[in-house]
Structure 1
């Protein structure tokens, strides 16, 4: 028994060493490029002109960030990104939760038909041109609501919430019905609070998708007052590539454009980095422990 225990401890230590080594390498692969982007954004145009990897800025400068925040379009784009992310996340999660609540009931008429329709949308879509024509006929071109309404429903998120709702004990719903609660009362007072871990996870993923989305703007928006931050970053990158291809301007102009591009990347990424630790505490799925005593 002692030999087996020693062998098991040795295998466990080897496994831990391999895991730690792989995780350290994976962490370095992620952190080093991010560090280079952040440090380069605080470097002067002369340092960026030298090229190469920058571990620490030789000439510390905030000119790139000053150029970003001096632009009124950046502030407008930041407001659009913030508004469409907040409104989009709230409406998406609430709408998916309502659909999931209904589909989680086995006595719902036509439930199998609705499920089949939803599953089909997970694998097939109408395509870009039919979707554009639909958005145009609905009058949502150059409208803020083109960011919100088409993103209201994701059947994948509905399935996640539906399975989570099924884990809610029937005793809670029955006790609420005895007290005179209807479906809306049960949904808002019982299912929503108990499903916070699943809803927070969906909110985080949907929020990241909304914040990083620029394709919707590129397809359906021509009004620059409705451009989000990601579209502004896209235009900065395209302009810098165009200048490089056409050899327009001096090296100082090109490096300044690169510095502004890096500063914009940091500005657009920072809100997600800040929000993730705040939402992470909702991932703990032990909310329902002790909800029912049997």
Structure 2
């Protein structure tokens, strides 16, 4: 039988110190989010007086009503949802297909391709060459600028590759005996048994697509094609919330401020991914562990 050993004074002090430090880190992490929520749900004009730190002083949903009455936000949210769904689906399929080809030892020049891909992990062409290439491909002010350049990522290929190498060779051999070609094997055999890694990469890229504002800021001038994150960036950086308020009904504009509209826009922008992420976080850990441990 095991007997419980009482902690020494030094061990108890060390544990208490760790708890205090972790609570402090949690507070520093969570409080800014709480502060934004509290002020977003407070009356905008009242919030301008300051002094709101823990809970709304005058609760109001007018700022959120003002946000959803702006047609620009609705369009931006639609663009974000569309590019996240389409971009993630195409990225996962295309990257998985390339990774499956890389997993084949009979692929001619496989080592050269791996070397070239590895170099891209550490060096990039830069913004100006990327912009010129995007312009020459006629992707400026084009929805496809969110999709085509992001269809492939070499880091995700490495994760796929590590998983594909662990698939039993007997599955592919049995499919070949039945007359399946390489593409049929990939679609009918490899993809169904690779759902864990597919879910991982889909989560990786889905979060990237949802949070990305840079592509819309650099390559998109058409306001009808900007995603919600770019819209939020312009609201904060250019104080365009004043323009938003100018188009609001008088009853609402009297109870909100440019700051309250900014905070409400932040909440609307980040809420979907913040709600979904905790339920899918395990896939991030699993994705980083794929291929690292041999069972």
For normalisation by structure 1, the TM-score amounts to 0.83
Deviations 1:99-149 (A, max 9, x none): 100001112111011111111111111111111111111111110001111
Shift of 1:7: 7.9
2:262 corresponds to = 261
Within 5 Å, which residues of 2 pair with 1:180-195? 180-195=179-194
How many residues align? The count is 276
Partner residue, 2:70:
71
Would the alpha carbon gap of residues 67 and 254 (structure 1) be closer, same or farther in structure 2, given more than 3 Å must change?
A: closer
- Which whole-Å deviations, capped at 9, do the CAs of 1:141-187 have from their partners, x for residues lacking one? 11000111111111011011101110111122222222222222221
SS in structure 1 opposite 2:104?
coil
Task: Give SS of 2:258's match.
Answer: helix
- What is the Cα deviation at residue 202 of structure 1? 1.7
Q: Tell me by how many angstroms 1:215 deviates.
A: 1.2
1:47 is matched with which residue? 46
* Structure 1 residues 133 and 283: CA distance shift in structure 2, 3 A: closer
CA distance in 2, matches of 1:77, 1:222: 13
Which blocks of at least 5 consecutive residues in structure 2 are unaligned?
243-252, 287-295
Query: 1:204-223, aligned counterparts within 5 Å?
Result: 204-223=203-222
CA distance in 2: counterparts of 1:70 and 1:35, whole angstroms: 24
Q: Counterpart of 2:246?
A: none
Over 3 Å counting, the alpha-carbon distance change for 1:60 and 1:254 in structure 2 is closer
Aligned positions of 1:196-211 closer than 5 A: 196-211=195-210
Counterpart-to-counterpart distance in 2, 1:96 and 1:142:
25
Cα displacement string for residues 244-294 of structure 1 (whole angstroms, at most 9, x for unaligned residues) = xxxxxxxx9997111111111111111112332554576796xxxxxxxxx
Which residue of structure 1 lines up, in the alignment, with residue 249 of structure 2? none
Q: Which residue of 2 aligns with 1:170?
A: 169
Q: 2:293 maps to which residue?
A: none
Between 1:48-57 and 1:165-174, the stretch displaced more is 48-57
Change over 3 Å in CA distance of 1:117–1:74 after alignment to 2: same
Q: 1:25 to 1:181 in 2, by over 3 A?
A: farther
CA distance in structure 1 between the aligned counterparts of 2:7 and 2:161, rounded to whole angstroms: 42
Separation in structure 1 between the aligned mates of residue 213 and residue 26 of structure 2, nearest angstrom: 28
Report the more deviating stretch, 157-166 or 181-190: 181-190
- Give the stretch that moved more between structures: 121-130 or 92-101: 121-130
1:20 deviates by: 5.1
Question: Normalising by the residue count of structure 2, what TM-score does the alignment of the two structures yield?
Answer: 0.83
Alignment of 1:279-290 (within 5 A): 279-280=280-281
Q: 1:1-294 to 2 correspondence within 5 Å?
A: 6=5, 21-240=20-239, 256-277=257-278, 279-280=280-281
Instruction: Give CA deviations for 1:3-31 in whole Å, capped at 9, x if unaligned.
Output: 9x848999998887666555433332222
Shift of 1:207: 1.3
Distance across 2 between alignment mates of 1:87 and 1:31: 32
Residue 96 to residue 11, structure 1, CA distance change in 2 (3 Å):
farther
Distance in structure 2 (CA, Å) of the matches to 1:242 and 1:60: 21
The alignment yields a C-alpha RMSD, in angstroms, of 3.0
